[in-house]
Amino acid sequence: MQISSLDILRCPYCGGRLELVTSLFHRRDGDEIHDGILGCQCCIFGIVDGIPVMHLGDDSTAARDHVQAGRPDLARRTLFSLADAAQAARFDEIAASTTSTYRDVVDVLGPSFEGGYFLYRFSDPTYIVADAVVRAVAGTVLSGGGRAIDVCGGSGHLTRTLSGLTSEPPVLADLYFSKIWLARRFTSPGCEAVCCDGNSPLPFRRGAFRYAMCTDAFMFIWTKRQLVGELARLIDDGRGDGALLVGHTHNERTWSPSHGQPLSQDGYRDLFETMEPRIFGEAGLFADVVKGGPLDLSRHDSRDAIDADPALTIIASPHPGVFAPHALSHKPAADGAYRVNPLYVAERTGDRVTLRLRFPDDDYEDEYGACREYLPAEIALDASALAALADGRLTTELRGLVERRVILHLPSRYY
Ligand SMILES: [Zn+2]
């Protein structure tokens, strides 16, 4: 973590400022703190691999004790739950390598981690809607400066979207150390990551951000009222033109897989005490993205349409530019390269290459089959275009396929 991030960090329990305890073990390289102990008035927290661990679960206090004892390697193993010695050694080897990928780490952590579909995340229907909404809302409110935070952001796929929108690095917060470690290393390099619990007060000062979001996780939060209050507190920067986004949260009125504990539209609305939220059914936003835009946030979905939609997007912002139609942006992130979507299998005949859409299994098709609405079943290209792509060049022909998500801009070390 950057030493300057201590300006926005606060203890989740006493609200006090935190200092690096320089009398205890720490490793610092210029402005970057790699490992160490942070102290406030009520307790101490560990920093492991540049990530402050701002809660007091059993693993985090054990990891903090390892840091204090000068063993940050054991702290990281603890936070990754690597109890098996051979697995831990293999993990350390991959973590030390400068050429390892996100997929290598996922492979070492085993099938219980992340599920199997991370590879296809950047073109799944939930992601493409969230990406468009984040670009529209965060792009609008951050155009005059300010900082963004992705709360419960997991392994940082949408933090990556935020990274192109501000000069200051976005902050990614999540309960799971392993996920934000992956984000910092691979998905959204350069983000600041903070390990904390979305069911507790968030460890940041009031007004530290102009944009705060929680996407695809809110239905799993028990203390929903507190979290909305916390997100509103984080964007209370005195200007009053920030935005709060709760993206892809499930709907109490319509069942969906991994349902969580969702609320109805009225239940969600009641969580917002200081701001007036607008609630969208995701189906309308998805249709906007599939037809190539604009993403129309000026719409007012009917109560019936919202009740019938399994997933909702909730936006609260006084900024006049937010609730308007937004052209879709495909501006690539700072880090990464264009590659063929891994859902396609290539077959070459002479100078032509045919790309065929192939799902990894039936479960994927059941859950994400709506991607057929934008991913063509089959597409033929000049082999020279794909050769140019391998050299990092995007021909005019392939540029159109970026909009279809046949060609994706992926992190450099993804798979
Ligand atoms: Zn404290």
- Residue 16 alpha carbon to ligand 1 centre in Å: 6
How sure is the predictor about 397, in pLDDT bands with cuts at 50, 70 and 90?
confident
pLDDT at 396: 87
Q: Are 177 and 347 in contact (CB under 8 A)?
A: no
In angstroms, the CA 44 to CA 248 distance is 35
Helix (H) or strand (E) holding 58: helix 58-68
Indicate whether 167 pLDDT > 90. no
pLDDT tens for each residue of 175-212: 999 999 999 999 999 999 999 999 999 999 999 999 99
pLDDT at 257: 82
- Residue 231 alpha carbon to ligand 1 centre in Å: 20
Indicate whether 83 pLDDT > 90. no
Residue 228 burial by CB count (10 A; 0-12/13-18/19+): exposed, middle or buried?
A: buried
pLDDT tens for each residue of 342-370: 999 999 999 999 999 999 999 899 989 99
Average pLDDT over residues 392-400: 88
In angstroms, the CA 39 to CA 6 distance is 11
pLDDT at 113: 77
pLDDT tens for each residue of 95-151: 999 999 999 999 998 877 766 788 899 999 999 999 999 999 999 999 989 999 999
- Residue 42 alpha carbon to ligand 1 centre in Å: 4
Q: Which residues pair with 192 in a beta bridge?
A: 171
Q: Look at residues 143, 141, 120, 121 and name the one whose alpha carbon lies nearest to residue 131.
A: 121
pLDDT tens for each residue of 262-295: 999 999 999 999 999 999 999 999 999 999 999 9
- Residue 203 alpha carbon to ligand 1 centre in Å: 10
- Residue 44 alpha carbon to ligand 1 centre in Å: 8
Helix axes 72-79, 85-96, angle to 10 degrees: 110
pTM of the model: 0.96
Question: Which residues, 6+ apart, have CB-to-CB distance to 72 below 8 Å?
Answer: 25, 27, 34, 35, 48, 49, 66
- Residue 105 alpha carbon to ligand 1 centre in Å: 33
- Residue 47 alpha carbon to ligand 1 centre in Å: 15
pLDDT at 115: 64
- Residue 11 alpha carbon to ligand 1 centre in Å: 5
Please report where in the chains the tokens 């992956």 appear, as a residue. Answer: 182
- Residue 182 alpha carbon to ligand 1 centre in Å: 27
pLDDT tens for each residue of 8-27: 999 999 999 999 999 999 99
In angstroms, the CA 293 to CA 325 distance is 9
Average pLDDT over residues 65-94: 95
Percent of the chain with pLDDT over 90: 89
Instruction: Give the CA dihedral 43, 44, 50, 56, nearest 10 degrees.
Output: -60
Average per-residue pLDDT for the chain: 95
Q: Which residues pair with 215 in a beta bridge?
A: 247
Indicate whether 156 pLDDT > 70. yes
